[in-house]
Chains A and B, each alone.
Chain A
């Protein structure tokens, strides 16, 4: 957790190349792929915020619904109050965080299997509320006509400016998430995961930290949901089903949840993969399912662990600049 290194030449180079790729990519893509790039950017935030929730060792199934809470908050606040995106996004986060805070009381009484199922039930209940209360949430067809934001005269209906905008928002969120994980707060979350009673014996209120991780993770999920609806212009309950939740899980697990960047690798690789098997249409979920199973059986630490494995097989064991579990 103590940050090593600072700015070496390699790191700066890596950063510069990454930045160039991120900035240039949209200009090389078709319209359809630009859309996809925006969703990918948003999903990166979804998986990274989910990872924060899982740091304490609890896996929830309500994260997708938390994105939905953010999305509905934005849709309602734009439609009714015409708020600007500077307000709607933080509002989306706060709303999701508040819902999470309320849910802490029932949900965090449970752990493990019970938490998983409890969070699933709570999420499904919220989602069905959107279906049921047509007057407020528009029922199955959801809320439409969420006006595209215009900032400094730039029309965000155009994918490229919106991509840059979401890239900025997501990057800021990722920096915050990274700093949280690599701070004392993050260390405490890891400690609760590994041995909650030991942490409690030196004064850690495990419940509060679980709640904190859940609320903060939901906050960023809300922002991700807000980004999505601002681009799509509409929101429906079907966007946040257990199906989408399962995708978040798959991205995180296939990428590897032990490292901060694991889920990012997962969502990027699988999105590209998904696009490449587009022609299989109806077969796609099955291919996904198969990959999920294979990665659980044969690559339990995720894609993130491949470089270390390769080095182990072909090289001299662990690499010097990457001690095992340095992220913890």
Chain B
């Protein structure tokens, strides 16, 4: 059963077709790779899904609901959470606080209960959830450090932690392995697998082909905003058009 459907999605920036009539579907529980040369429109696709951009035309349907006109926070509440291509954290907050922001949907507080301290239990549950996720991400020791003080690998892990705390059904991960060394990449791949095993559907944008091929069971390839090919890692590896697109891009 498909959890997300792209129907003829087009996104235009002035004269530039960042996405050109793209249609594909993603199944529940899948870990899908979305690849393509630089500027192919991968991040633009994520931003359209997560509501940060509005498609120029076409529709995006999530679990039977058209996402048209929905704000990013509403889409997050519906269960789609994206991570950002650039490392994006609340730099001046501690690791724990960063992750706690992710608990917003599940345990938001209103002013009255905040002032009167009426939601202690809920907040305690949120803290526990956060600690669980930090443990899962191997960040427990660093929980009181400022996000800006973390090494790159941990920053990436924290970005993922923020998303995970919000208990999404579907995660859009934009180049989570960028700038990592082999060891860090391996570690993150392991984490990504564990996330997927917990039942979260993942769409992964990544330039590290080894990682993508290793993680994903199915790939979608974009080039110049157009859907170029779809298939299993083996099919994509041997697809002439894909090879050409990547070589032509160099």
Complex contact flag A–B (Cβ < 8 Å): yes
Given contacts A179-B115, A184-B107, A187-B101, contact A205 B73 (CB under 8 A): yes
Given contacts A179-B114, A180-B111, A203-B73, contact A328 B92 (CB under 8 A): yes
Chain A residues lying within 8 Å of B96, measured Cβ to Cβ, are: 2
In whole angstroms, what is the CA distance A324 to B147 when docked? Answer: 13
- Are A328 and B93 interface neighbours, CB within 8 A? yes
* A74 CB → nearest B CB, Å: 23
Partner of A205, one of B71, B83, B162, B166: B71
Does B52 reach chain A (CB closer than 8 Å)? yes
Chain B residues lying within 8 Å of A2, measured Cβ to Cβ, are: 96
Chain B residues lying within 8 Å of A212, measured Cβ to Cβ, are: 111
Given contacts A195-B89, A198-B89, contact A204 B104 (CB under 8 A): yes
Interface residues in B214-231 by Cβ distance below 8 A to A read: none
Does A316 reach chain B (CB closer than 8 Å)? no
Does A132 reach chain B (CB closer than 8 Å)? no
Interface residues in B50-73 by Cβ distance below 8 A to A read: 50, 52, 71-73
- Are B109 and A202 interface neighbours, CB within 8 A? no
- Are B166 and A203 interface neighbours, CB within 8 A? yes
Chain A residues lying within 8 Å of B126, measured Cβ to Cβ, are: 184
Chain B residues lying within 8 Å of A216, measured Cβ to Cβ, are: 111
Does A176 reach chain B (CB closer than 8 Å)? yes
| Most chain A CB inside 10 Å of its own CB: which residue of B76, B146, B163, B166 | B76
Partner of A202, one of B117, B123, B144, B166: B166
In whole angstroms, what is the CA distance A325 to B97 when docked? Answer: 12
Report B's interface with A, CB cutoff 8 A. Answer: 50, 52, 71-73, 76-77, 81-84, 88-94, 96-97, 100-102, 104-105, 107-111, 114-115, 117, 123, 126, 144, 146, 162-163, 165-166
Report A's interface with B, CB cutoff 8 A. Answer: 1-2, 176, 179-180, 183-188, 190-191, 194-195, 197-206, 212, 216, 323-325, 328
- Are A201 and B72 interface neighbours, CB within 8 A? yes
Chain A residues lying within 8 Å of B89, measured Cβ to Cβ, are: 195, 198
- Are B162 and A198 interface neighbours, CB within 8 A? yes
- Are A203 and B77 interface neighbours, CB within 8 A? yes
Chain B residues lying within 8 Å of A187, measured Cβ to Cβ, are: 93, 97, 100-101
* A208 CB → nearest B CB, Å: 9
- Are A191 and B93 interface neighbours, CB within 8 A? yes
In whole angstroms, what is the CA distance A206 to B71 when docked? Answer: 10
Given contacts A197-B72, A201-B76, A203-B73, contact A184 B108 (CB under 8 A): yes
Chain A residues lying within 8 Å of B101, measured Cβ to Cβ, are: 187-188, 191, 198-199, 202, 204
Chain B residues lying within 8 Å of A202, measured Cβ to Cβ, are: 76, 81, 101-102, 104-105, 162-163, 165-166
- Are B90 and A201 interface neighbours, CB within 8 A? no
* A175 CB → nearest B CB, Å: 8
What are 8 A-to-B residue pairs whose CB atoms are below 8 Å? Answer: A184-B100, A184-B123, A198-B90, A201-B81, A201-B83, A202-B76, A202-B81, A203-B104
Chain B residues lying within 8 Å of A190, measured Cβ to Cβ, are: 90, 92-93, 97
* B96 CB → nearest A CB, Å: 8
Chain B residues lying within 8 Å of A206, measured Cβ to Cβ, are: 73
In whole angstroms, what is the CA distance A22 to B129 when docked? Answer: 43
Given contacts A185-B109, A191-B93, A195-B88, contact A200 B162 (CB under 8 A): no
Closest to B102 in A: A202
* A179 CB → nearest B CB, Å: 5
In whole angstroms, what is the CA distance A182 to B109 when docked? Answer: 12
